[in-house]
């Protein structure tokens, strides 16, 4: 594989270009898995990984140890868990992560053999392979596109790559005791009571994470989003809906939209909507998403071009690019919308319009196909119905307007995160399919998997089946036995015991 092993000059080049790096350790795959070498293998691999990291200038970095096959619980309990315990003894638990499917990630969390990052997050790099559609809430990285012949990944400089989503601010891109790079500026969330509409505010929408979360949107902040864009916003007058279109992974990923070669490289939408309802903030500056409005279709943004500040001085931008926030939801344009994605778009549009004191009419919430009908067909939504849903949420926001969020939003941010993590954990426990604990006489574990509720309903069905079929038969047998016993008792009481072979013998027979 051309990307393995990584060398020092490659790491330096990536860092010099503002690209952060995490480390994964892997030699074997499904035929010869590293982790099935147990304790000895864990010690050897951890020492070798540590030595290689030092040689490439990444001393102290954590390591994701790969479980790149459909590992079973029995294999984990008997062998693989010892591999990770040994790695923890060599590197320290805070430097040990796991790459694998959702279940093995959870087993590692449960056995405390990977770094605990707090707030329910652990050093998990989850692959979609063998995960049955489940995304572990504790994962910091999610491998959404795995390059295979049936689902090829995007090609970058002639190399086909996988696509991973970042789901936490820390994903192993520096030693656990080192603060994040200054280029990843961390801004403390606004306190709940300070989030109020700001219709007259100007400038880039750095308020997006707080306002979107206020409306219940699950938010990912794309690396470097606060400094990404083609120019600076002044006034924001609305929100424009799109869809990504197409079906190739490289054209429907947040990374592509954040640095779109189709617009000369750079931001082509402020927000990206994932199919699972997560919204990723790609940039705070002007995005090339709207283009030029058809005559009479510019809405609140107006027609033609406007001048806005940029890093190189004042520049001309189309009115829609300069004045609308745009979202690119992941949809081909020829398929139904996932309910989670549609809901996230409604919430995102409502959040922006509420914050800017605007209504969900066509002027302030256009579809791209309404702004430029001569050349655009997106989104494949009934925009009138969509606007009604958005306006309903603006009129009935998911928080108490007197306190901007009621009890939950008035809590300290740390407490909000703690409660949100617990809710995520409850959701995981209710929806994750666990392996049955049944073992047969040979000690073999059942491969049956079901959710917690599924197991309860299965047991309920079995009990109801027993009530309906087994118990009546048992009752009939008991009734027959009781009836026979009663008849025998009555006969004994009336006629005495039935004669036996001995009692029927004559005295002479006994004497002889």
The confidence score (pLDDT) of residue 364 equals: 98
Share of residues in the chain with pLDDT > 70 (%): 89
The residue that leads in pLDDT, 431 or 106, is 106
Lowest mean pLDDT segment, chosen from 98-102, 262-266, 317-321, 328-332: 262-266
Among 319, 224, 212, smallest CA distance to 266 is for 224
344, containing H or E segment: helix 339-355
Distances (CA, A) of 192 to 92, 209, 416, 425, 502: 37, 12, 10, 23, 97
**pLDDT band, residue 200 (cuts 50/70/90):** very high
* Strand partners for 34: none
In this model, does residue 208 exceed pLDDT 50?
A: yes
In this model, does residue 165 exceed pLDDT 80?
A: yes
Helix ranges (H only) for 217-308 are: 254-258
Rounded-to-integer distance, Cα 347 and Cα 354, Å:
10
Return all residues near 280 (Cβ < 8 A) that are at least 6 apart.
Answer: 165, 219, 220, 221, 222, 254, 271, 272, 273, 274
What CATH number was assigned to the domain covering residues 207-395?
3.40.80.10
Return all residues near 462 (Cβ < 8 A) that are at least 6 apart.
Answer: none
Contact 161, 154 (CB under 8 A): yes
Among 100, 108, 165, smallest CA distance to 127 is for 100
Q: What is the mean pLDDT of residues 52-79?
A: 94
Helix ranges (H only) for 356-470 are: 368-371, 383-395, 406-410, 413-431, 452-465
**pLDDT band, residue 139 (cuts 50/70/90):** very high
User: What is the dihedral sign for C-alpha 251, 256, 258, 260?
Assistant: negative
Distances (CA, A) of 426 to 422, 435, 456: 6, 18, 16
Contact 358, 342 (CB under 8 A): no
Q: What is the mean pLDDT of residues 87-101?
A: 96
In this model, does residue 188 exceed pLDDT 80?
A: no
* Strand partners for 370: none
pTM of the model: 0.47
Lowest mean pLDDT segment, chosen from 176-185, 187-196, 257-266: 176-185
**pLDDT band, residue 250 (cuts 50/70/90):** low
Query: 472: number of CA atoms within 13 Å, CB side?
Result: 5
Contact 405, 327 (CB under 8 A): no
Contact 122, 116 (CB under 8 A): yes
Contact 249, 155 (CB under 8 A): no
The confidence score (pLDDT) of residue 96 equals: 98
The confidence score (pLDDT) of residue 247 equals: 54
The confidence score (pLDDT) of residue 501 equals: 57
Share of residues in the chain with pLDDT > 90 (%): 56
326, containing H or E segment: strand 324-329
What CATH number was assigned to the domain covering residues 8-166?
3.20.20.80
Q: What is the mean pLDDT of residues 392-401?
A: 83
Mean pLDDT of the chain: 86
**pLDDT band, residue 93 (cuts 50/70/90):** very high
Rounded-to-integer distance, Cα 471 and Cα 237, Å:
70
Q: Taking the mean position of all CA atoms in its chain, how far away is CA 377? A: 30
Among 194, 227, 230, 229, smallest CA distance to 210 is for 194
What the block records as the tokens of 191 is 């306190």
Q: What is the mean pLDDT of residues 376-399?
A: 93
Domain boundaries, the chain: 8-166, 207-395
The confidence score (pLDDT) of residue 441 equals: 82
Question: 404-452, pLDDT tens digit by residue?
Answer: 455 666 566 667 777 887 887 787 777 777 777 777 888 787 777 788 8
Contact 153, 256 (CB under 8 A): no
Q: What is the mean pLDDT of residues 26-52?
A: 91
Distances (CA, A) of 155 to 222, 266, 328, 412: 21, 18, 21, 44
The residue that leads in pLDDT, 417 or 184, is 417
In this model, does residue 368 exceed pLDDT 90?
A: yes
The confidence score (pLDDT) of residue 166 equals: 92
The confidence score (pLDDT) of residue 190 equals: 41
* Torsion angles phi and psi, residue 200, rounded to 5: -100, -5
In this model, does residue 2 exceed pLDDT 70?
A: no
Report the SS3 class of residue 12. Answer: helix
Q: What is the mean pLDDT of residues 246-266?
A: 80
């Amino acid at each position: 594989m051309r990307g393995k092993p990584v060398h020092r000059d490659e790491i330096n080049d990536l860092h010099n270009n503002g690209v952060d790096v995490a480390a994964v350790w892997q030699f074997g795959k499904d035929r010869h898995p590293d982790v099935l070498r147990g304790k000895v293998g864990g010690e050897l691999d951890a020492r070798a990984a540590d030595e290689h990291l030092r040689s490439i200038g990444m001393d102290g970095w954590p390591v994701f140890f790969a479980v790149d096959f459909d590992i079973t619980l029995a294999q984990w309990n008997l062998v693989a868990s010892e591999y990770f315990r040994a790695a923890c003894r060599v590197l320290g638990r805070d430097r040990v992560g796991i790459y694998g499917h959702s279940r093995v990630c959870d087993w590692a969390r449960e056995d405390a053999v990977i770094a605990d990052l707090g707030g329910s997050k652990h050093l998990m790099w989850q692959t979609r392979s063998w995960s049955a559609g489940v995304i572990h809430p504790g994962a910091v990285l999610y491998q959404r596109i795995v390059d295979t012949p049936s689902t090829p990944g995007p090609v970058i400089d002639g190399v086909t790559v996988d696509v991973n989503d970042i789901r936490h601010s820390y994903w192993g891109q520096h030693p656990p005791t080192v603060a994040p790079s200054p280029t990843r500026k961390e801004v403390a969330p606004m306190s709940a009571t300070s989030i109020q509409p700001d219709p007259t505010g100007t400038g880039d929408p750095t308020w997006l994470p707080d306002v979107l979360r206020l409306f219940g949107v699950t938010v990912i902040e794309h690396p470097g989003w606060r400094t990404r864009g083609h120019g600076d916003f002044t006034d924001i007058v609305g929100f424009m809906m799109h869809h990504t279109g197409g079906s190739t992974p490289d054209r429907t990923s947040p990374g592509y939209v954040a640095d779109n070669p189709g617009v000369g490289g750079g931001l082509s939408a402020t927000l990206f909507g994932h199919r699972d309802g997560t919204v990723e903030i790609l940039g705070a500056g002007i995005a090339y998403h709207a283009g030029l409005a058809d005559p009479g279709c510019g809405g609140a943004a107006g027609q033609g071009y406007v001048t806005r500040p940029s890093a190189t001085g004042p520049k001309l931008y189309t009115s829609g690019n300069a004045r609308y926030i745009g979202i690119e939801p992941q949809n081909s344009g020829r398929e139904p919308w996932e309910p989670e994605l549609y809901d996230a778009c409604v919430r995102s549009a409502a959040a922006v319009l509420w914050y800017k004191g605007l209504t969900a009419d066509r002027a302030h919430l256009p579809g791209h196909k309404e702004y430029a009908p001569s050349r655009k067909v997106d989104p494949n939504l009934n925009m009138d119905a969509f606007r009604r849903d958005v306006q309903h949420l603006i009129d009935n926001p998911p928080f108490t307007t007197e306190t901007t969020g009621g009890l939950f939003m008035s809590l300290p941010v740390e407490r909000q995160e703690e409660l949100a993590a617990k809710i995520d954990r409850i959701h995981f426990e209710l929806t994750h399919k666990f392996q049955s604990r049944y073992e047969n006489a040979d000690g073999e574990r059942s491969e049956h998997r079901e959710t917690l509720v599924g197991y309860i309903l299965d047991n309920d069905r079995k009990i109801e089946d027993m009530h309906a079929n087994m118990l009546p038969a048992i009752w009939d047998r008991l009734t027959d036995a009781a009836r026979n016993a009663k008849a025998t008792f009555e006969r004994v009481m009336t006629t005495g015991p039935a004669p036996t072979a001995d009692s029927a013998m004559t005295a002479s027979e006994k004497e002889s």
